[in-house]
């Protein structure tokens, strides 16, 4: 009997193709919008987690200024940080502006302190060298591509930084755009001069004020215990404006932000589904009025009220499910198209792809079917409660 009702519902939908399609479109648009937003949001969360893991990594603690102001700095004692039990290594990112004179020009470029361990901490330093090598010894420098051109620097040239001579041992590759890979506060590697960190300390003595520091925790050591020791070191140096963030904290904060924006946009898109549900209800009320005599015939030949109820619920649910299936396909297509457009226009979506999960597929189909079925409850109840005699006399 259930199968017969299901087939009859399909046939009734097929007989009213145009009206059924218009009803399905209401569910389709809302479902597509929600699916696209959720798929992009999940994909963005996955990509961010992977990027943070690559940039920071597990067992890593970031020490940064608490405020959000541009160029804020904190005072650190790298020696004390490295002496903490459980710390495998610690580096700091420090930049200064200095007067530099080269064979073909002079100016005030950004000086970046460099330690080989930095490349282990952050895989995105992007120190792609076209000639020579990194500044492994004191008194050597690595220069950006634009700096090399403007200052007339070549391998072996002498650059004078604050009247201290340095020998050029490497030239960086030209970075795409104005922002380079290192870029802690918008510094372009094209315009930078990279010197050994020890030389930067010598050039600029006094309190060691850095943009941020990164601490690597030994395998098996407690991250929370190390964080407490770091707080003690910062307090001893008089630093009160620093905050500590580990991998889990950072990913949770980013994912919470993305999830909040995603939920807000999905809520707006959900209004379309609500409008689609109202459309389903309107269609089913119209169907009840048009098929009053048919309902009377069904009851006259022995159909029960619950069977008439199921018939109309099947019809409304199937229209909702049809809109859900098409909306799922359209939403995924829109998500892929959006990612492709963003990647093409802004070149910022590398590695980003929409995430299709079983929960998303099942949830979208179940939700759309539920919206359709629930929207058809009142019309179906009205059809089930029609007296057979009155229904047969209805014109």
The whole model's pTM is what?
A: 0.57
**Whether the Cβ atoms of residue 87 and residue 226 lie closer than 8 Å to each other:** yes
Compute the radius of gyration of the chain from its Cα atoms. 33
b/e map of 256-268 (b: 16 or more CB within 10 Å)?
eebeeebeebbee
Backbone angles phi, psi at 93, to 5 degrees: -100, 115
157: three-class secondary structure by DSSP: coil
Tokens describing residue 322: 């049809």
Query: Which helix (H) or strand (E) element contains residue 14?
Result: helix 2-15
Rounded to an integer, what is the distance from CA 277 to the centroid of its chain?
31
8 Å CB contact between 214 and 60:
yes
pLDDT at 52: 65
| pLDDT score, position 221 | 84
* Torsion over CA: 262, 54, 224, 83 (sign): negative
What SS3 state is found at 90? strand
Per-residue model confidence (pLDDT) at position 355: 77
- With beta carbons less than 8 A apart as the criterion, state whether 114 and 169 touch: no
Q: How far is CA 163 from CA 97, 159, 166, 283, in A?
A: 14, 9, 9, 83
Q: What is the pLDDT of residue 26?
A: 75
Task: Supply the pLDDT for residue 179.
Answer: 46
DSSP annotation string for 182-209:
S-SSS--GGGEEEEEHHHHHHHS-SS-E
Return all residues near 178 (Cβ < 8 A) that are at least 6 apart.
Answer: 188, 190
**pLDDT reported for residue 124:** 47
Q: What's the confidence (pLDDT) of residue 177?
A: 53
Q: How far apart are the first and last CA of the chain?
A: 29
The per-residue pLDDT for 288 is: 66
Distance, in Å, from the CA atom of 140 to the CA atom of 156, rounded to the nearest integer, reads: 9
Classify the C-alpha dihedral 106-112-117-122 as positive or negative.
negative
- Residue 66 DSSP symbol: S
Predicted local confidence at residue 169, as pLDDT:
93
Residue 359: the pLDDT is: 82
Report d(CA 131, CA 65) in Å as an integer. Answer: 35
The pLDDT value given to residue 10: 67
Quote the pLDDT of residue 181: 46
Q: What is the mean pLDDT of each run of 10 residues along the chain (395 residues)?
A: 65 70 78 82 76 67 74 84 89 88 90 80 65 88 90 91 93 67 60 90 85 85 88 87 79 75 72 74 70 68 73 78 87 84 62 76 83 77 70 55
DSSP 56: T
Distance CA 295, CA 131 (A): 85
């Amino acid at each position: 009997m259930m199968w017969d009702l299901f087939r009859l519902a399909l046939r009734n939908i097929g007989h009213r193709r145009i009206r059924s399609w218009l009803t399905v479109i209401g569910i389709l648009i809302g479902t597509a919008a929600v699916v696209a937003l959720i798929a992009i949001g999940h994909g963005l969360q996955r990509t961010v987690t992977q990027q943070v893991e690559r940039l920071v990594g597990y067992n890593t603690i970031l020490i940064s200024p608490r405020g959000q102001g541009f160029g804020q700095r904190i005072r650190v004692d790298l020696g004390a940080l490295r002496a903490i039990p459980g710390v495998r290594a610690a580096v700091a990112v420090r930049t200064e502006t200095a007067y530099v004179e080269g064979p073909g020009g002079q100016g005030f470029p950004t000086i970046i302190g460099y330690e080989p361990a930095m490349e282990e901490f952050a895989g995105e330093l992007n120190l792609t060298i076209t000639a020579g090598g990194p500044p492994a010894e004191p008194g050597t420098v690595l220069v950006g591509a634009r700096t090399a051109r403007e200052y007339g620097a070549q391998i072996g040239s002498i650059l004078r930084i604050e009247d201290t001579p340095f020998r050029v041992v490497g030239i960086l590759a030209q970075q795409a755009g104005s922002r380079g890979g290192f870029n802690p506060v918008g510094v372009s590697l094209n315009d930078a001069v990279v010197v050994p960190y020890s030389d930067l300390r010598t050039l600029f003595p006094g309190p060691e004020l850095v943009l941020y520091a990164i601490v690597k925790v030994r395998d098996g050591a407690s991250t929370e215990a190390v964080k407490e020791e770091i707080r003690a070191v910062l307090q001893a140096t008089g630093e009160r404006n620093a905050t500590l963030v580990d991998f889990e904290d950072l990913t949770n904060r980013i994912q919470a932000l993305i999830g909040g924006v995603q939920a807000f946009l999905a809520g707006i898109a959900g209004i379309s589904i609500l409008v689609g549900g109202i459309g389903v209800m309107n269609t089913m009320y119209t169907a009840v009025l048009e098929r009053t005599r048919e309902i009377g015939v069904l009851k006259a030949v022995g159909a029960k009220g619950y069977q008439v109820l199921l018939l109309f619920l099947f019809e409304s649910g199937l229209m909702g499910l049809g809109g859900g299936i098409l909306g799922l396909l359209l939403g995924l297509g829109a998500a892929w198209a959006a990612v492709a457009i963003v990647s093409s226009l802004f070149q910022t979506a590398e590695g980003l792809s929409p995430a299709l999960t079983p929960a998303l597929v099942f949830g979208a189909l179940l939700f759309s079917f539920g919206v359709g079925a629930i929207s058809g409850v009142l019309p179906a109840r009205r059809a089930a409660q029609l007296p057979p005699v009155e229904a047969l006399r209805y014109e």
